[in-house]
Chain A
């Protein structure tokens, strides 16, 4: 079994039964940031794992570098992307999974999920965050 690890440090809590995106909060202004800012004026916060779809699109062609999925253009599978409004915090840009793009609707309830993305040279599976429709919605 291959090992898994997040594609970047300090992006989401892992390993975890209930992973959360890691943001930061400006202690003076109360503004939220994602990804987290490294500064004395910021405290790290775990962001809400549920929110509403604010807007979306579909990536229909294979992106050029720095995109790292190794795939021939004809084998590329389009993926949906959107912003999720996390109530009272911030809107985060994310891949959208678990739904046919034709079914996407602004305002729908979404929740965080951690998904395998690609394998690195060491054979480790890199994990990314994504949002999927909430089970309860």
Chain B
């Protein structure tokens, strides 16, 4: 079987860049990825890309060059970047093309996302009466989880504190100032038990990756990385998802559980082989629950792991080494690819002050979003 390598990575810093459109940020990331792989746009045989709120990715060709390249737009909510990557992966696996690009970018207005009930297949009253807010869902999911598994608000604050610490070491992060645990806990309550410092915000940013057939990777880089597993799942019956006027009493697994399992099976390795992970942290509680949903610990173990600093950069199992969504914000189309970008930087040993020690070899990403979708990857060097 043809293996798939990542040979070029590019990023436009996350946060707020006034005067630069989301699409222009995508072009910036694309050019940086091309230069990283020491190739030109004309060498790219195919591309997949998308954003949720910043326009059609394929219009980038007017800036990158009119080479006639097949450039396909991907739209998959929070998994847009992950879906672009998965599409690029299968395109190379199929033998159709040898080298291509996956790109994701976005630019959202300030404040919480606007929701349209009818676009989400829901009735108008649900939005009109103030039930259709993602922040409520996150508050309610972690509230129940804390009740069931003994997770404390202190653990929620530790996740956010770590995110800001890691963000302070990442020149591409949005939030680069550490925030103390006390300030996080005493911050304005947004949706109990989550304070404003525990939530990520919609933001801007872009990431591009160059992928190719593994047997030609050495032409482009001395440090190729290999995409060993990538899988995507939508929600199964009984999962607890955003925008649900009702839920089944019998609880079931989340889409993350299925995506994680499929990714590990594809890679043919186990959880013990993973040296670091980027896990969806829309808010602090999400990172905690996703540690278990992805199979890295048992429900409830997170409390001790966080108190012991296990998920810090120098801990036993570093999580969200670039500051995650909490420090980078969430430009929906780019967010999943940012996680892959960070793992590539870490596996190349190029992460500077936030480098995970002891030459990590295998890294994991997990993105999750509305309306109950999840995509995971495993990358090795």
A residues lining the B interface (CB < 8 Å):
7-8, 11, 23, 31-35, 54-61, 63-69, 79, 81-83, 85, 88-95, 101, 106, 117, 128
Taking a contact as CB atoms under 8 Å apart, the answer to whether B247 and A83 are in contact is yes
| Those of B175-221 within 8 Å (CB) of chain A | 188-193
Q: Are B116 and A82 in contact (CB under 8 A)?
A: no
Given contacts A54-B144, A63-B130, 8 further A-B contacts (CB under 8 A): A55-B140, A55-B143, A59-B130, A67-B128, A88-B249, A91-B249, A128-B125, A128-B129
B133 adjacent to A59 (CB under 8 Å)? yes
Question: B-side interface residues toward A, CB under 8 Å?
Answer: 111-112, 114-117, 123-125, 127-133, 135-136, 139-141, 143-144, 147, 188-193, 244-249
A66 touches B132 (CB 8 A): yes
The one of A31, A65, A93 in contact with B131, judged by C-beta atoms closer than 8 angstroms, is A93
Q: Given that A7-B129, A35-B123 are contacting pairs, would A58 and B245 also be in contact in the complex, using a CB cutoff of 8 Å?
A: no
A57 to B139 Cα, complex, angstroms: 6
Contact A59 B136 (CB under 8 A): yes
**B115 to chain A: closest residue by CB:** A66
For the complex, give the distance between the alpha carbons of A85 and B248 in Å.
Answer: 9
The CA of A32 and the CA of B246, in the complex, are separated in Å by 9
Number of A-B contacts (CB under 8 A): 108
Q: List 13 A-B contacts (CB under 8 A).
A: A34-B246, A35-B245, A55-B143, A57-B140, A59-B130, A61-B190, A63-B130, A68-B129, A81-B130, A90-B248, A90-B249, A92-B246, A93-B244
Contact of A90 with B128 in the complex, beta carbons under 8 Å: no
B129–A95 touching, CB < 8 Å:
yes
**A65–B114 contact, CB under 8 A?**
yes
Nearest Cβ on chain A to B245's Cβ, whole angstroms? 5
Interface contact A31-B130, CB-CB below 8 Å: no
Q: Once the chains bind, are A101 and B192 in contact (CB under 8 Å)? A: yes
Q: Which residues of A contact B117 (CB under 8 A)?
A: 66
**Which 10 residue pairs across A and B have the least CB separation, nearest first?**
A57-B139, A66-B127, A55-B144, A34-B246, A8-B125, A91-B247, A68-B128, A55-B140, A58-B192, A57-B191
The answer to whether B133 and A92 have CB atoms under 8 Å apart is no
